Structure 1
């Protein structure tokens, strides 16, 4: 794990096919428990997409309106004279209500106190809940979503957790997803882990807790696989949960978020909007004490990518965006190269992970082609190179403008079993990682290579 993460769980779904489900690393860095695709992750603000979905279902059923003031469902706000009582459900879902983010006492985010219960949420709003006027600024608010959760309870006459189970999870057959921490399944959760501060090289596990009345904002747990099932229900044309009319409303642009003159995000009604290449994606990130997660959905191209990490500083967004970019490279070559010559060995015989003092590179087969990928870069796309098979022992980098070895040959050496034992990219030799590590000590001295 290049970034020293404990573990990563990832899944990719194309249309109705699960094309990738994988887990690497450990579920618990202290116990050393291997991470599996079945481990449960706290997915935090993904919960907002579930909450918005449940609201739109109630709107479709005529039981709620997006323009209803929240005071209709949480009468204590009206009785207490809070201006937030007039904020609409839609404004709360789109973070345009002006309500405080988490309240003045929010150390539940580092387990210093319990998450707010219903009375606590209402008390925070009544005490100092107004930060901006309605629709003055985009103001991300977990308290706002907690109020929407209370509204769902008022409309349905049942708990938020129970309603989400019957209205959203059961129709999709999701059995490893829930709206709140379930202590009966404690052994199934991946442990949360602290971030690495400057100079630190070890992590501490973080206890799981329930989020009480904040569940509508941050309570959910799931797996990457099940999140791709849920994400596919937001494809246009799939009406298991919502009509396309409602999905378009959730997914359309409500706010361009600009801070200090720079755009930092876009948001719809319960979903973030992200552009990757030519794809217009929706979805959400999630940050919970010990877990960092991201799910991206292409509702038109019918693709879902979900990445779950069990560290508070896990680069889930970078990994998810990088995966989408690599998927698009697989679908569309970055440059044209000649096909392999007759009698050339299978493309798989060229593939592998190789290392030099300058880092790691992968030769991978994508979409029936060979590409060179540098997997440790935050954005892998600029360094992806299309490769031509010249013969059994030679590749060539596609001829393109660039600062790297574009157009140059990559000589290979193979071992007795025909596997690639070394390759030279730009004249620098890379070897399978284990062999590179064996040779690395000699590479740190003048003329060290000659003595190995």
Structure 2
């Protein structure tokens, strides 16, 4: 099963060391002048991706404007419909920063305290919920078992319908957690979706639309398992080398399921520079209380975003065939996002190549 986070391996997306521990292929070893960057980016995509297979869409943003975008591959293998820069992907765990932003906006408005217990806002949980705080959820220090593992252990395949209620019921049966140490769990952000709904009186998708997406004029929606005419269909490679449809019938929110394009992600990234939504208070809350992730000299985990030792920001997400990498430079001026519709695609090579072109 492909879970919503591929560790915090995206931590090196915009650092000098490249992307995670993946070595940089020769095709990505490019240093470009400013004038050459768009052309070199297109050539990189052509070198790394095949036009007749699932592939990737990518974008580079500079101070909130899309400086370059490109795509290569097919969005639908049955029809040959190509991937384009307007192809829509489920960006999986990259969505977590939006859920965290919703919580922090409510905290700034005095609607909740990060020290509130989960039990205060989410009914039906065991006694341990009285000792787990909203802040524990935001920073993955609750110790709550990942609901994806719990549902999988109970026999739920990705093709079996599984709702938000199913996830909450599984969480309620989880073992007693030990809070305080970072342990990435999608359960945290499913519970945060419930906190937002309880406090604001609006489901998380509606809250984000009203308070984040529309104010920033972002073409984004939180819509699990959604498909539209621009959707890039997800695939997985079978042992015989053919591409088979992937996807999921699960409909949880909070931990993933934002539907958008890399171009919109790099536009959103500029909020980490400007604070156009949330102001300085949000920017401080997103990053200042980041916790160690247990990796030596590795990233710290902020509010739905990894804060790397060199000051860059990043997150990675993978779900049911989709994979996305998102990163922002330390000066917050440049952002790179790459989304692919097959998890087997070497997304790290694409992201690292674009990093070398645009940030060297």
Residue equivalent to 2:221: 178
Residue equivalent to 1:17: 65
Q: Does 1:62 align with 2:110?
A: yes
Alignment coverage as a number of residue pairs? 310
Aligned counterparts of 2:90 and 2:205: Cα–Cα separation in 1: 15
Residue equivalent to 1:242: 278
Cα shift at 1:316: 2.8
Judging by fraction of residues, say which structure has more strand: 1
- Post-superposition Cα deviations, 1:76-131, rounded to whole Å, max 9, x if no partner, equal 22xx32x133211111011000001124223798524223323x23322221243x
Report the secondary structure of 2:293's partner residue. Answer: strand
Q: 2:246 aligns with which of 186, 189, 206?
A: 206
Bigger Rg, structure 1 or 2: 1
Q: Does 1:93 align with 2:129?
A: no
5+ residue gaps in structure 1?
330-452
Aligned counterparts of 1:252 and 1:325: Cα–Cα separation in 2: 28
Residue equivalent to 1:117: 164
Bigger mean CA deviation after superposition, 146-155 or 308-317: 308-317
* TM score, norm. by length of structure 1: 0.64
How do residues 128-139 of structure 1 correspond to structure 2 at under 5 angstroms? 128-130=174-176, 132-135=177-180, 137-139=181-183
Q: Does 1:106 align with 2:161?
A: no
Residue equivalent to 1:355: none
Higher RCO (Cα < 8 Å, 6 or more apart): 2
Cα shift at 1:14: 0.9
Residue equivalent to 2:329: 298
Residue equivalent to 1:7: 55
Report the secondary structure of 2:255's partner residue. Answer: helix
Cα shift at 1:16: 3.4
Cα shift at 1:313: 2.4
Report the secondary structure of 2:110's partner residue. Answer: coil
**Aligned 8 A contact 2:236 2:321 in 1:** yes
> Does the C-alpha gap of structure 1 residues 299 and 172 become closer, same or farther in structure 2, counting only changes over 3 Å?
farther
Q: 2:304 aligns with which of 245, 270, 274?
A: 270
Q: Does 1:231 align with 2:272?
A: no
How do residues 19-418 of structure 1 correspond to structure 2 at under 5 angstroms? 19-77=67-125, 80-81=126-127, 83-102=128-147, 103-106=149-152, 111-118=158-165, 120-130=166-176, 132-135=177-180, 137-175=181-219, 177-181=220-224, 183=226, 185-195=227-237, 197=239, 200-207=240-247, 209=249, 211-212=250-251, 214-235=252-273, 238-252=274-288, 254-258=290-294, 265-274=299-308, 280-298=311-329, 300-329=331-360
> Does the C-alpha gap of structure 1 residues 253 and 62 become closer, same or farther in structure 2, counting only changes over 3 Å?
closer
Aligned counterparts of 2:78 and 2:307: Cα–Cα separation in 1: 37
Aligned counterparts of 1:141 and 1:182: Cα–Cα separation in 2: 20
> Does the C-alpha gap of structure 1 residues 38 and 321 become closer, same or farther in structure 2, counting only changes over 3 Å?
same
**Aligned 8 A contact 1:293 1:317 in 2:** no
Cα shift at 1:301: 3.7
Aligned counterparts of 1:208 and 1:100: Cα–Cα separation in 2: 21
**Aligned 8 A contact 1:12 1:306 in 2:** yes
Report the secondary structure of 1:186's partner residue. Answer: coil
Aligned-residue Cα RMSD (Å) equals: 2.4
Aligned counterparts of 1:315 and 1:153: Cα–Cα separation in 2: 37
**Aligned 8 A contact 2:233 2:341 in 1:** yes
Residue equivalent to 1:400: none
> Does the C-alpha gap of structure 1 residues 84 and 325 become closer, same or farther in structure 2, counting only changes over 3 Å?
farther
